[in-house]
Structure 1
Amino acid sequence: MENMNPESLLRKAQALGDDIKEMESIDVLGAYCQAQTRIKANRKKSLYNQLMRYAAFLTLPLLLSSLILGYLYFGGVEAEEKYAEIIAARGSVIRYELPDHSVVWLNSGSTLRYPTVFKKENRMVELKGEAYFEVEADKKRPFYVNTPEGLSVYVYGTKFNVTAYDDDDYVETVLEKGKVNVITPCKETIVLTPGEQLHYDRQTQKSIKNKVDVYGKVAWKDGKLIFRNASLEEIFKRLERHFNVDIKLNNEFGKEYKYRATFRNETLSQILDYLAKSVTLKWKIQEPEQQSDGTLTKTKIIVDLY
């Protein structure tokens, strides 16, 4: 070893001491903790970023579905309406409750078509034949009865009768309670009050409003046949529907007769016998015949008036 003077040795010892102090001053544990904290922070950040990517991936379809449903609900194309039909066979009367809790009676040979769910702004039904309505009151949603020739009846809650058979040359509306608005095919609106009837002639397209015996017009729903100043032709047409038969009237001398009568549980034969008491009238029954398709024809009644 080289000989070193005391001054040089002192400087080296001082330098070594400074290095040792610097090393001792390093906080190894603190540095370790800081390093661990940075590692955990980096891992959390990486996991957060990854989760956000997954969330975005999962949320996008949900967001699109929500937008589509919102569009369809608030402003898009409405779901297709579904309809149901009630049919009263010839010779029967049916009582039925509609989705809004309104009640309808259908007379023989009638059909009522209605949506299975009524719209928010109105309640519309289509009638062929005759029906008596007890409409559940709803001031925000009018109830419409539409007939094939374009005549409509609308109410907000009331009791009324509509007759619109295809083989009749007229359409009638009779109001029992409340108020009825009738819109004719000519777009004329006529208001009825209780006890009034609107008679619309399909041929002339003219409407006549007059007072009537309301119960006589609507008693059919209770199984009654009430005639007030009715001709034989009118009586026979109603008997045909009520008993599901065909009646042929041979008026030999063209005489006109008017009847006032009420029938409840009488058979067709009893009614014809009653009519024959006041006029020279004979009648006979032709029994049903089997057709080529295996079905039977209607019972036919031949009436001769002398």
Structure 2
Amino acid sequence: MEEQRKHIEEPDASLLLAYIREKASSEEQAIVEAWLQDREENEQTLLQIARIYHVQYTHRRIGQRDSLKAFELMQERIRRRVWQKNIYRFSTVAACIAVGFFLSTLLSWWNITNDGTGVQMVTVRSNPGMRTSCNLPDGTVAYLNSGSMLVYPVPYDKDKRAVTLDGEGYFKVTHDSEKPFIVSVADGKMKVIVLGTEFNLQAYREEGVIETTLVSGKVNIEAKKENGTVVRQELSPSIKATYSLSTCKMNMESVNTAYETAWIEGKLMFYNSPLPEVLRDLSYFYNVKFEVKDPMIKSYYFTGTFIDKQLSQILDYLKISSGIDYKIRQITGDDSQGVNHTVVELTNKRK
């Protein structure tokens, strides 16, 4: 059997940016070009970085052709390189495992639209089962959990930095006392308003519940009821606010923020957590659907920390610690939407 080929590790992000800006030294250029020749998908990775770089700085060049021309030059450089290297083909699953968290960012879907006023709307999507990060025009860093979407304008409005989130995101907001940073969720039914802070916001459309956890600084929450009245709440660090869209009620609790934000580093951390919450997090993290055959299972609690574990390993731990058996069924889903899910069937062994 032929020995599996060892791949070249991806260059540092600053080196890739230097290469894109044509400011890399000859030695640095050689490093990047060797990496480009190593595997086919590296070309698309570099092209994505170039696209992200030029989009982020478009607001400084509105009315000019320089950014578009630079991006077209980068496309041409990569196209020329296609004819100069050997193409290696790997399966999608193997590629996802190899590139890790950094490259998963670049596998996200970026969509850019123009509203006719010179403002570009940028859409960032995190692929199911993967996590993504991106830098916003003001320097704010946004991390997106699996199956999430962030939309923001370039440039921002004059008086605010408004973005829209569907899914789960962690924000490290750059301070600006004159321009509040506003995250809208649930079709504008709730807004999180900050000047500069770090917080986690979970607002998956299908959940009907919005969770806001403040890590540092201060945030203000504004939730709009059906009758038009607005519920306002200010959060302190280590406080999580859970807002129900159906009842329009907000619950406050003190939490360990490390458990709420562990997903950013590819971790899963649970401490005496209700099993429905555990299954929800596993569902998004691994892009799976759970079918609970015995309602008693939903009354269980679970504690555990997992780093770089396969889903089957976590399910085995659940089987041992909670007396739950599982069966993984074939992938199902709507192919027309391009999203598939593995179905995990849970049964109770405690009977």
> Would you say same fold, with TM above 0.5?
yes
Instruction: Assess if the C-alpha contact under 8 Å between 2:325 and 2:346 holds in 1.
Output: yes
Counterpart selection for 1:157 from 189, 196, 202: 196
- 1:149-298 equivalences under 5 Å are 149=187, 150-185=189-224, 186-251=229-294, 253=296, 256-288=299-331, 297-298=340-341
In structure 2, C-alpha distance between the alignment counterparts of 1:277 and 1:283, rounded to whole Å? 11
Instruction: Assess if the C-alpha contact under 8 Å between 1:132 and 1:218 holds in 2.
Output: yes
Counterpart selection for 1:105 from 143, 167, 185: 143
In structure 2, C-alpha distance between the alignment counterparts of 1:301 and 1:233, rounded to whole Å? 14
Q: TM-score, normalised by structure 2?
A: 0.61
Q: Report the CA distance shift for 1:116/1:211 in structure 2 as closer, same or farther (over 3 A).
A: same
Question: Aligned residues: percent identity?
Answer: 33
In structure 1, C-alpha distance between the alignment counterparts of 2:334 and 2:213, rounded to whole Å? 40
Q: Which deviations, in whole Å up to 9, do the C-alpha atoms of 1:182-202 show, x marking residues without a partner?
A: 111142221111111111011
In structure 2, C-alpha distance between the alignment counterparts of 1:79 and 1:255, rounded to whole Å? 51
SS for the counterpart of 1:191 is strand
Q: Is 1:89 equivalent to 2:127 in the alignment?
A: yes
> Which range moves more in the overlay, 201-210 or 154-163?
201-210
In structure 2, C-alpha distance between the alignment counterparts of 1:215 and 1:263, rounded to whole Å? 13
Structure 2 unpaired stretches of 5+: 1-115
In structure 1, C-alpha distance between the alignment counterparts of 2:180 and 2:333, rounded to whole Å? 48
- Alpha-carbon RMSD: 2.2
Q: Which deviations, in whole Å up to 9, do the C-alpha atoms of 1:163-219 show, x marking residues without a partner?
A: 100121310111001111111114222111111111101111011222111110011
* Matched residue type, 1:239: L
Moved over 6 A (4+): 290-296
Q: Which deviations, in whole Å up to 9, do the C-alpha atoms of 1:29-85 show, x marking residues without a partner?
A: xxxxxxxxxxxxxxxxxxxxxxxxxxxxxxxxxxxxxxxxxxxxxxxxx93532110
Q: TM-score, normalised by structure 1?
A: 0.70
In structure 2, C-alpha distance between the alignment counterparts of 1:299 and 1:143, rounded to whole Å? 37
Aligned residues: 229
Q: How many angstroms does 1:290 deviate by?
A: 9.0
In structure 2, C-alpha distance between the alignment counterparts of 1:207 and 1:151, rounded to whole Å? 12
Q: How many angstroms does 1:253 deviate by?
A: 4.6
* Structure possessing the higher radius of gyration over alpha carbons: 1
